[in-house]
Structure 1
Amino acid sequence: MNVLNGEIILKKLDLTKQDKEVVEQALTYWRDHAMLDEQKVEELKRSIDEKGFEWKILARYAFWVALVSLVFSVLSLFADDALVRFVERFYETPNIVFCLFFAGLAIVFYMLGFRNKKKYPANTFSNETMMLAGSFSTAACIGFLGQVLDRSTSQYTFLFLLSIFVYAVLSVKLNSKLIWVFTLVALGVWFATETGYHSNWGFKFWGMNYPLRFTLFGLLLTAFSIWGQPKVQVLQPFQPTSYVVGLLYSMIALWCLSIFGNYSSFDAWTQVRQYHILYWGVLATALSLGLALYGMKMKDTISRDIGFVFFILNLYTRFVEYLWDNINRTVFFLLLAVSFWFVGRWAEKVWSNDQTSRS
């Protein structure tokens, strides 16, 4: 909304060509049936405009391609003989030098990102790209610092705890949800290394292997995002992100648990038949279905979509586990086709409900 010479000028509503045609048809229909007068219809038509080229989407993809190209350029470095010989000169360089180098690089990226965010707040993608580069540099710095320390010492896990603090402070200071994702990933890495250290890097900690540990870890993170995070003012903007990441931690770990069970080694798992751990599969399928139904009932699209995806994933995992070697291939794929038809119908129904609720 703008004010010009005392008059309020509304910003035009940008619509795609198809949406603009639909709105104009609706306005014409209402005019023809005397629901709107001609003057009002013309006024409303002038308030909409056809959306131009999606520069925002182009910018997003361009920055993604830039990051991917950067990764490939680093990989290509090791495929070039001349460059390999050049890099080999650094093999004898102490890890602490690389640690300090990436620390300095991270500071530069964060400073540029913070400055650009204040100076050009509308340049979302370029600013986030700077933050992402800074986050990767921070991870590289901590990684090289870990090479300096012995993995058998408690300082090794302390590094990941330090990275959580660094990422969390940066997330709040820079108001970056992207860096907050790195915070939660670092939290998961710290949890894995800390429990691994206390179990002498074995599979079991307090009788739990990694999938079972991360199932509980994800549930705790989800619970914190729902009941604890809203009470901390500086963390409130990141609550939806924590909710999504917490659910993903839980559901991915639970899906892995339904396949591998709570066994302490890969060899122990290969010695048992899959039906011996059927209860984990039933639990994973039931919880994912419950999450999907809860999301549909409470209009929570996040839990609905995550629950639906993992319900299907668990269902087809069980389908392959117990039927692939036990029934005719023709019958197998016929059942697969029929089941996917039902999945498509369910998805279509959910989509239709979404469209109805929005209209």
Structure 2
Amino acid sequence: MKKIDLSKQEIEVVQEVLNHWQEQGLLEQSKVTELRDNIDERGFEWKMLARYAFWVALASLVFSVVSLFSDDTLVNFVERFYEAPNLAFCIFFGALAALFYVAGFRNKKKFPEKTLSNETLMLAGSFSTAASIGFLGQVVDRATNHFTILFLLSIIIYGLLSVKLYSKLIWVFTLGALGIWFATETAYHSDWGFRFWGMNYPLRFTIFGILLTVFALWGQPRIPTLRPFQSTSYVVGLLYTMIALWCLSIFGNYSDFDAWTTIRQYEIFYWGLLAIALSLGLALYGMKAKDNISRDIGFVFFLLNLYTRFVEYLWDNINRTVFFLILAVSFWIVGRWSEKIWKKKSAM
């Protein structure tokens, strides 16, 4: 019988579960022994090594491009092509993107278990697509500043590719391009100012994130082709919302830096209160509904907002020693609270 390979930490968890089931009379000793004999300790984390290797490969690719422009010999070589039309670069990166996508699709179909190498090819294709669209902008948009059409084009391309190739990674690029399009489109209609309909960027993206989250929860499940990406949209929507709301709690709905520096933080306290309330509500909902995504994001941003308010209101008003002492005690309380919850769940 083929044994299952687990890490040392995973074996400890499995052993603890088996002991618990044996104590509760759910498993007999002979069955527990049989299950334990079917476990082998993994000698080396090859999957982790593969993940790091692909990350290093992508980072090295980026550094190689940077080094290209720092080497005089290579710069002289590149300068020969400097006068090449932007259309040529657009076609080149478009063809390169197609090559990466085709290779990734074939590799995914032939070796579906090689998720890291497959996603790396998709990621390279996504970057090449972005470069191709960027050069396309230089070709068709020389006389105007309405770049939003290009971002809209990238959304369509990424969206079609993510559905066709069933790639959640490309779907993340789709949502990222959607956010960039939203920012540039609203900026364009506000004459490239920081306010659109009286809202600065943090307030705009708070609403944008809420709408994206609502769509992920109630709209996306009704569209069969987009249903597999629901969880990804849900996470990205919550992150858009909570990050923007956290920024809003710091800067308020101000678009002028000089005006913001003249106010006191208590004048925009309501934004901080809203951020704390929403993050806490998200964490409590996640714990009650057993929604790990909303629980984790809510809890992280609850602490982030809480300690942001702590720094805002106490950093300049109390002694530094007392400040860090309060900080240490508060973290200890959070740790104790988390420990009690963990022990309570372990005893159930």
Candidates 60, 67, 72, aligned match of 1:76: 67
TM-score by length of 1: 0.88
Whether the 8 Å CA contact 1:59–1:125 is kept in 2: the answer is yes
Residues 100, 124 of structure 2: 8 Å contact kept: yes
Query: Are the aligned partners of 1:292 and 1:305 in contact in 2 as well (CA < 8 Å)?
Result: yes
Does 2:197 correspond to 1:197?
Answer: no
Q: Does the 8 A contact of 1:149 with 1:156 survive in 2?
A: no
Please state how far the C-alpha of 1:225 moved relative to its aligned partner.
0.5
Structure 1 stretch 328-337 or stretch 90-99: which is displaced more? 90-99
Structure 2 unaligned residues grouped into runs of 5+: none
Are 1:167 and 2:137 counterparts?
no
Task: List per-residue Cα deviations over 1:71-112 (Å, max 9, x = no partner).
Answer: 111112222222223233333333222222111111111011
Residues 232-241 or 88-97, more deviating: 88-97
- Tell me the distance in 2 between the aligned counterparts of 1:146 and 1:185: 18
Q: Is the 8 A contact 1:254 1:284 kept in 2?
A: yes
Q: Is the 8 A contact 1:152 1:197 kept in 2?
A: no
1:38 to partner: Cα distance: 6.7
Q: Quick check: 308-317 or 342-351, which moved more?
A: 342-351
What is the distance in 2 between the residues matched to 1:33 and 1:283? 46
What is the count of residue pairs matched by the alignment? Answer: 348
Q: Are 1:183 and 2:188 matched, yes or no?
A: no
Q: C-alpha offsets along residues 158-179 of structure 1, whole Å, 9 cap, x if unaligned?
A: 1111111111111111111100
- Whether 1:281 and 2:263 are equivalent positions in the alignment is no
Alignment of 1:65-104 (within 5 A): 65-104=56-95
Match of 2:288 in 1: 297
Secondary structure of the residue aligned to 2:225 is helix
The one-letter code sitting in structure 2 at the alignment partner of 1:122 is E
Work out whether 1:157 is the aligned partner of 2:148. Answer: yes
Partners of 2:30 and 2:183 in 1: CA distance:
66
Separation in structure 2 between the aligned mates of residue 238 and residue 354 of structure 1, nearest angstrom: 31
Whole-Å Cα distance in 2 between the matches of residues 211 and 25 of structure 1? 46
- Within a 5 Å distance, the mapping from 1:109-258 to structure 2 comes to 109-150=100-141, 153=144, 156-258=147-249
- Offset at residue 334 of structure 1 (A): 1.1
Deviation of the 1:46 alpha carbon: 3.5
Q: Name the aligned partner's letter for residue 224 of structure 1.
A: F
> 2:47 is matched with which residue?
56
Q: Which runs of 5+ in 1 are unaligned?
A: 1-9
Does 1:342 pair with 2:317? no
Determine the C-alpha separation between the residues in 2 that align with 1:356 and 1:90.
Answer: 69
With 96-105 and 243-252 compared, the bigger mean Cα shift is at 96-105
> What's the TM-score, normalizing by structure 2?
0.91
* 1:320 Cα offset (Å): 1.2
The amino acid across from 2:335 in the alignment is: G
Please say if 1:262 is aligned against 2:253: yes
Cα distance, 1:321 vs structure 2: 1.2
Offset at residue 218 of structure 1 (A) = 0.2
Equivalents in 2 of 1:138, 1:322: separation in Å? 46
Cα–Cα, structure 1 residues 297 and 39, in superposed 2: closer, same or farther, change >3 Å? Answer: closer
SS of the equivalent of 2:241 reads: helix
Q: Partner amino acid for 1:264?
A: S
Q: What do residues 106-135 of structure 1 show as CA deviations (whole Å, max 9, x unaligned)?
A: 111101111111111111111110000000
Q: Deviations over 1:244-279 (max 9, x none)?
A: 000000000001111111112222222322221111
| TM superposition shift of 1:37 | 6.3
1:274/1:46 Cα in 2 relative to 1: closer, same or farther (>3 Å)? Answer: closer
Q: For the residues of structure 2 that align with 1:261 and 1:108, how far apart are their CA atoms?
A: 46
Letter matched to residue 106 of structure 2: R
2:188 partner amino acid: Y
Structure 2 counterpart of 1:5: none
Give the conservation status (yes or no) of the 8 Å contact 2:287–2:295.
Answer: yes
State how far apart, in whole Å, the 2-side matches of 1:200 and 1:19 are.
Answer: 56
Which stretch shifts more, 53-62 or 221-230?
53-62
1:16 shift after superposition: 3.0
Asked if the contact 2:146–2:188 (Cα under 8 Å) also holds between the matched residues in 1, the reply is no
For 1:15, the aligned partner's letter is L
